[in-house]
């Protein structure tokens, strides 16, 4: 450590206590990556504030020194948004894990940023309510991280992504000032600053109290799993289900590669390994409606050429149908050294064509591509298996990723559905936005954080806009 960073660590320890500042290189290395395997960065130190006041004091201190910072939840992000390179300090929020209030009559809760998504869902269930956004990482990821990335999940098809569930925020800006965005009653008016903050990927400040919307637990849930001998047929079933006006709670697709990986893992869910694709359709709501919708969805799957259609008759059977989907990323992680979970969206009508193009890109670059994705809202996850220690393979992953993004954008889609831009997707921003558009984003960011100290170097491509803030990596 430099003398400067030793002095800084001591100052921060004066705010949060010595045990909540980490400076040893071996400790710092455990914070050098998040869920994105292609980028690493080591912070100057890691600080764990325990309250909004401590966050405010820490940021004020860093601001006074002109030191940049990166906020981090559980580090499950997939775009490298929580990476901090020294001299930047990592502000980890896992100690702030309290549920401050659950207001059942008005269906809302107030939580600290470090509350784990699944914990909030469990606590809400005690009063018959539910927190709807359910990222695959929900057993680990935090609500603060979900807010930063505007996280999605299988059930966001019906319920909407994180931004639709955030009513109000207490935010500490980069200079330590605390502000309040949105209103607990959730009525949008004037500039929607809470909506603006959700998805700003840590570049606007740190959320220290989050008022979320809760929804009633649906009285009935029904789930079916249909298998198809052609990926295109599964894609067409998706289009027809949506076209008929059915709004499933979830509509998920897995391709042959994904089925094979899951079924040869400890998470085997009984999916038919000879199928080209399986489609998981879940409807929830009141009994009569759900029964009618699921019957029609099943008929549509059969008309589109489904082989067998299995229906879960019990909660345990439903768990089992979901198991393969929920554990797919874990299972994929075991078949290769590294896994890049790609993320893009396309119009639903373009799904069949885009899936064929993606498969062709994989073949051409000799990369295994596995698709596990939110078919109902056109949110693709083509996952690339590789070994980061093989420079040639790493290079092919980079080229294939860009080609996949170009195909999605050309089909009328965009470069991320739910994982954010972070460091990884900055290079694709010019596929979607012109220089004026990027300069405006930069100006809005500058309104929240004139210092440029909050998560610098993320989201907006280097040099695309004005040189970023007073601080820039030398």
Q: Does 125 bind a copy of itself (CB under 8 A)?
A: no
Window of 82-90, 257-265, 360-368, 407-415 that interacts with a copy of itself by CB under 8 A: 407-415
HEC profile of 185-229:
CCCCCCCCHHHHHCCCCCCCCEEEEEEEECEECCCEEEEEEEEEC
Q: Which tokens in the block code for residue 291? A: 């029964």
| Closer of 379 and 385 to a copy of itself (Cβ) | 379
Of 290, 283, 329, 282, nearest to 141 by C-alpha is 329
Task: Specify whether the CB–CB gap between 376 and 159 falls below 8 A.
Answer: no
Residues 373-402, one symbol each (x = binds a copy of itself by CB under 8 A, - = not), give: -----xx-----------------------
Q: Which tokens in the block code for residue 245? A: 């006006």
| Closer of 36 and 161 to a copy of itself (Cβ) | 161
| Closer of 17 and 216 to a copy of itself (Cβ) | 216
Least distance (Å) between residue 351 CB and a copy of itself: 11
| Closer of 31 and 204 to a copy of itself (Cβ) | 204
State which of positions 440-469 bind a copy of itself (CB under 8 A).
440-441, 443-448, 450, 459
Task: Specify whether the CB–CB gap between 455 and 449 falls below 8 A.
Answer: no
Window of 19-27, 60-68, 386-394, 418-426 that interacts with a copy of itself by CB under 8 A: 418-426
Window of 257-265, 268-276, 417-425, 462-470 that interacts with a copy of itself by CB under 8 A: 417-425
Among 347, 467, 470, 473, binds a copy of itself (CB under 8 A): 347
Among 67, 117, 142, 200, binds a copy of itself (CB under 8 A): 200
Rounded Cα distance between 226 and 237, Å, is: 10
Q: Does 342 bind a copy of itself (CB under 8 A)?
A: no
**How many of the chain's residues bind a copy of itself (CB under 8 A)?**
76
Least distance (Å) between residue 425 CB and a copy of itself: 8
Helix (H) or strand (E) holding 361: helix 351-364
Q: Does 195 bind a copy of itself (CB under 8 A)?
A: yes
| Closer of 176 and 362 to a copy of itself (Cβ) | 176
Least distance (Å) between residue 286 CB and a copy of itself: 6
Q: Does 29 bind a copy of itself (CB under 8 A)?
A: no
Rounded Cα distance between 207 and 213, Å, is: 16
State which of positions 254-283 bind a copy of itself (CB under 8 A).
none
Of 13, 43, 14, nearest to 31 by C-alpha is 43
Among 36, 96, 198, 281, binds a copy of itself (CB under 8 A): 198
Rounded Cα distance between 293 and 282, Å, is: 10
Helix (H) or strand (E) holding 279: strand 277-285
State which of positions 283-322 bind a copy of itself (CB under 8 A).
285-289, 291-293, 296
Task: Specify whether the CB–CB gap between 146 and 72 falls below 8 A.
Answer: no
- CA–chain centroid gap for 291, Å, is 31
Q: Does 126 bind a copy of itself (CB under 8 A)?
A: no
Q: Does 432 bind a copy of itself (CB under 8 A)?
A: yes
Among 271, 329, 433, 471, binds a copy of itself (CB under 8 A): 433
Q: At a CB cut-off of 8 Å and minimum separation 6, what does 210 contact?
A: 110, 111, 112, 113, 143, 144, 147, 166, 168, 169, 170
| Closer of 46 and 253 to a copy of itself (Cβ) | 253
* Residue entry with tokens 């972070």: 422
* Residue entry with tokens 């003398």: 3
DSSP strand pairing (99-103 vs 108-111): antiparallel
Of 39, 121, 122, nearest to 75 by C-alpha is 39
Least distance (Å) between residue 20 CB and a copy of itself: 27
Q: Does 185 bind a copy of itself (CB under 8 A)?
A: yes
| Closer of 35 and 199 to a copy of itself (Cβ) | 199
């Amino acid at each position: 450590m430099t003398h400067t960073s030793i002095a800084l660590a001591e100052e921060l320890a004066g705010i949060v206590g010595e045990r909540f500042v980490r400076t040893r290189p071996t400790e710092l290395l455990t914070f050098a990556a998040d869920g994105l395997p292609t980028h690493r960065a080591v912070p100057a130190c890691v600080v764990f504030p325990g309250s909004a006041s401590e966050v405010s004091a820490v940021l004020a201190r860093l601001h006074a020194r002109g030191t940049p910072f990166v906020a981090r939840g559980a580090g499950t992000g997939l775009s490298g948004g929580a990476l901090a390179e020294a001299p930047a300090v990592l502000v980890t929020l896992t100690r702030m894990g309290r549920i401050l209030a659950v207001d059942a009559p008005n269906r809302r809760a107030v939580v600290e940023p470090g509350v784990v998504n699944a914990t909030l869902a469990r606590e809400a269930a005690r009063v018959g309510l539910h927190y709807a956004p359910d990222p695959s990482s929900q057993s680990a990821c935090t609500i603060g991280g979900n807010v930063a990335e505007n996280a999605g999940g299988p059930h966001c098809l019906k319920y909407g992504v994180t931004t639709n569930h955030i009513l109000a925020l207490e935010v500490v800006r980069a200079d330590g000032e605390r502000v309040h965005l949105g209103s607990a009653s959730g009525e949008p008016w004037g500039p929607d600053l809470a909506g603006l903050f959700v998805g700003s990927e840590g570049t606007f400040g740190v959320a220290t109290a989050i008022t979320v919307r809760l929804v009633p637990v649906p009285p009935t849930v029904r789930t079916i799993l249909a298998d198809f001998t052609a990926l295109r047929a599964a894609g067409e079933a998706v289009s027809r289900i949506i076209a008929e006006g059915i709004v499933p709670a979830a509509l998920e697709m897995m391709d042959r590669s994904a089925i094979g990986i899951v079924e040869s893992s400890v998470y085997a869910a009984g999916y038919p390994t000879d199928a080209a694709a399986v489609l998981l359709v879940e409807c929830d709501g009141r009994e009569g409606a759900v029964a009618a919708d699921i019957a029609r969805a099943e008929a549509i799957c059969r008309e589109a050429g489904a082989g067998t259609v299995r229906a879960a008759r019990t909660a345990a059977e439903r768990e089992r149908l979901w198991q393969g989907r929920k554990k797919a990323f874990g299972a994929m992680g075991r078949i290769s050294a590294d896994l890049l979970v790609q993320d893009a969206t396309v119009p639903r009508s373009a799904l069949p064509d885009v899936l064929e193009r993606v498969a062709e890109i994989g073949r051409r670059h000799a990369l295994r591509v596995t698709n596990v994705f939110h078919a109902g809202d056109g949110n693709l996850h083509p996952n690339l298996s590789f070994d980061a220690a093989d420079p040639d393979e790493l290079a092919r992953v980079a080229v294939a990723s860009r080609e996949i993004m170009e195909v999605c954008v050309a089909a009328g889609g965009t470069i991320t559905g739910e994982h954010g831009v972070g460091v990884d997707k900055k290079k694709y921003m010019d596929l979607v936005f012109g220089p004026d558009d990027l300069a405006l984003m930069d100006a809005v960011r500058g309104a929240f954080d004139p210092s440029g100290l909050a998560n610098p170097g993320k989201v907006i491509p280097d040099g695309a806009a004005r040189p970023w803030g007073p601080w820039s990596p030398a």
